[in-house]
């Protein structure tokens, strides 16, 4: 690879909003920057680009400083479409919300929340999925909440009216208290332990003419976004490529050394780079298996032994023990 995700730069927006939350709570904002290379002076510069690893550190600090807060949803709901810069202008000038969401799906590197975006439509319901997360594993739940909250706000800005959600789904487990706060903030039903992170809304929104649509400006800005996306994509894709290699060979998992060889680096370098994301080869293997298992149980309706074989387990019992460890419940209970 020509560049590593650990060197990836991102906007100062999220870091500065996180620091502001700490200051608003009456705490020393410098506490949010501990162990990072950021200072209050650098994040006050609007043109600053921060290392994604520094953003992760700020996130972890703020979560520890402000327990009992849904910080990601607070930040996401306050993020107007303008935070996306030129990409936000591409959203606004699109002819319809459907077209704007297609732009978001085309340029995941510019969205910078670590997810790929896809739209499904069935029986008058639109479902916007956030999948294939490529960021720090320990922050996956936080970035899922950030992605969903910010897209609720963004879609509302694009439409010129409030997007009313029907429901939101999150992959991970959350406490009842946390889930209740999410439901209150997002004003809809919140479901946990879903196969994907998603938000659902009436499909009638999709083809409404947008108030700021402009076909000439839209075409011009899309070309600029394509150039930017190509530049950022190589950095964003590193962890996704590791997970993709693992996913291709789940039935017979490769040793770490073979994964490193396919990534054109040494096993030591691979371990070090995975460490930047607070993860490991074993953790990624578990993550990919868990994600695939949830889909097989919910959507493909496969039996436990069939799933075990496809995921590279020696037998069904091994898979059942692993799924219990991942989710806190047996596969049969999750499938029900």
Which of 17, 45, 67 is the last residue in one of the domains?
Answer: 67
Q: Report how far residue 7's alpha carbon sits from residue 296's, in angstroms, rounded to the nearest whole number.
A: 35
**Residue 243 included in any domain:** no
Q: What are phi and psi of 209, to 5 degrees?
A: -70, 130
Listed residue (220, 228, 226, 212) closest to 94, CA to CA:
212
Q: Are residues 300 and 258 in the same domain?
A: yes
Question: How many domains are contained in the chain?
Answer: 3
Which of 23, 48, 67 is the last residue in one of the domains?
Answer: 67
**Residue 7 included in any domain:** yes
Q: Are residues 91 and 172 in the same domain?
A: yes
**Residue 241 included in any domain:** no
Cβ neighbors of 281 (< 8 A, separation 6 or more) are: 256, 259, 270, 271, 274
**Residue 244 included in any domain:** no
The pLDDT score that the predictor gives to residue 117 is: 95
Q: Are residues 53 and 82 in the same domain?
A: no
**Residue 162 included in any domain:** yes
The pLDDT score that the predictor gives to residue 31 is: 97
Q: Report how far residue 121's alpha carbon sits from residue 111's, in angstroms, rounded to the nearest whole number.
A: 22
**Residue 149 included in any domain:** yes
205 neighbors 185 (Cβ within 8 angstroms): no
Q: Report how far residue 103's alpha carbon sits from residue 84's, in angstroms, rounded to the nearest whole number.
A: 12
Q: What are phi and psi of 320, to 5 degrees?
A: -60, -40
Residue 281, Cβ neighbours under 10 Å: how many? 20
**Residue 242 included in any domain:** no
Task: Look at phi and psi of residue 207 and say left if phi exceeds 0, alpha if psi is from -120 to 50, else beta.
Answer: alpha
Residue in this structure with the two tokens 């402009």, named with its chain if needed: 214
Q: Within a 13 Å sphere around the CA of 206, how many CA atoms are in the beta-carbon half?
A: 17
Q: Are residues 120 and 186 in the same domain?
A: yes
> 158: buried, middle or exposed (CB in 10 Å: 19+, 13-18, 0-12)?
buried
Residue 290, Cβ neighbours under 10 Å: how many? 17
Q: Are residues 77 and 226 in the same domain?
A: yes
Q: Are residues 227 and 322 in the same domain?
A: no
Which of 200, 233, 266 is the last residue in one of the domains?
Answer: 233
Residue 3, domain extent? 1-67
Tokens of 323: 């799924």
Helices in the chain by DSSP H: which ranges? 13-24, 40-44, 52-65, 71-78, 86-93, 97-106, 108-111, 140-159, 176-186, 215-248, 256-262, 267-276, 281-295, 304-310, 316-327, 331-335
Q: Are residues 143 and 222 in the same domain?
A: yes
3-state secondary structure of 103: helix
Cβ neighbors of 297 (< 8 A, separation 6 or more) are: 307, 331, 334, 335
CA distances from 262 to 1, 228, 254, 255, 292 (A): 10, 27, 11, 11, 22
Q: Are residues 86 and 218 in the same domain?
A: yes
Residue 151, Cβ neighbours under 10 Å: how many? 24
Q: Are residues 23 and 108 in the same domain?
A: no
Cβ neighbors of 271 (< 8 A, separation 6 or more) are: 256, 280, 281
Specify the CATH number for the domain of residue 265: 1.10.10.60
Q: Report how far residue 194's alpha carbon sits from residue 192's, in angstroms, rounded to the nearest whole number.
A: 6
Q: Are residues 259 and 206 in the same domain?
A: no
111 neighbors 125 (Cβ within 8 angstroms): no
Q: Are residues 21 and 56 in the same domain?
A: yes
Q: Are residues 82 and 62 in the same domain?
A: no
Task: Give 10-residue mean pLDDT values along the chain (336 residues).
Answer: 44 90 96 91 79 87 93 94 92 98 90 89 97 87 95 97 97 87 95 93 97 96 88 68 90 93 92 80 90 84 89 92 88 81
């Amino acid at each position: 690879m020509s560049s590593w995700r650990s060197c990836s730069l991102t906007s100062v927006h999220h870091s500065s909003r996180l620091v502001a939350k700490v200051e608003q709570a009456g705490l020393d904002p410098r506490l949010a920057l501990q162990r990072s290379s950021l200072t209050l002076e650098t994040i006050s510069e609007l043109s600053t680009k921060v290392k994604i690893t520094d953003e992760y550190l700020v996130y972890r600090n703020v979560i520890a400083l402000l327990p009992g807060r849904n910080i990601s949803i607070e930040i996401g709901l306050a993020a107007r479409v303008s935070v996306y810069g030129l990409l936000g202008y591409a959203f606004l000038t699109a002819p319809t919300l459907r077209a704007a969401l297609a732009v978001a799906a085309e340029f995941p590197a510019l969205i910078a929340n670590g997810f790929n975006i896809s739209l499904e439509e069935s029986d008058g319901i639109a479902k916007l999925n956030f999948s294939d997360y490529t960021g720090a594993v320990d922050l996956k739940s936080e970035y899922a909440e950030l992605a969903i909250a910010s897209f609720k706000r963004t879609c509302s800005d694009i439409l010129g009216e409030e997007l009313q959600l029907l429901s939101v789904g999150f992959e991970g487990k959350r406490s009842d208290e946390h889930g209740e706060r999410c439901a209150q903030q997002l004003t809809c039903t919140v479901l946990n332990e879903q196969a994907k992170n998603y938000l659902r809304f009436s499909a009638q929104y999709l083809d409404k003419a947008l108030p700021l649509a402009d076909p000439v400006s839209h075409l011009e800005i899309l070309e600029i976004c394509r150039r930017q996306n190509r530049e950022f994509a190589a950095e964003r894709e590193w962890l996704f490529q590791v997970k993709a290699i693992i996913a291709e060979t789940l039935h017979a998992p490769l040793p770490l050394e073979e994964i490193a060889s396919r990534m054109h680096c040494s096993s030591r370098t691979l371990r070090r780079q995975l460490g930047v994301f607070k993860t490991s080869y074993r953790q990624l293997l578990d993550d990919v298996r868990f994600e695939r298992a949830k889909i097989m149980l919910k959507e493909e309706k496969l039996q436990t032994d069939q799933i075990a074989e496809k995921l590279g387990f020696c037998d069904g019992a091994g898979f059942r023990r692993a799924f219990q460890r991942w989710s806190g419940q047996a596969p049969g209970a999750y499938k029900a």
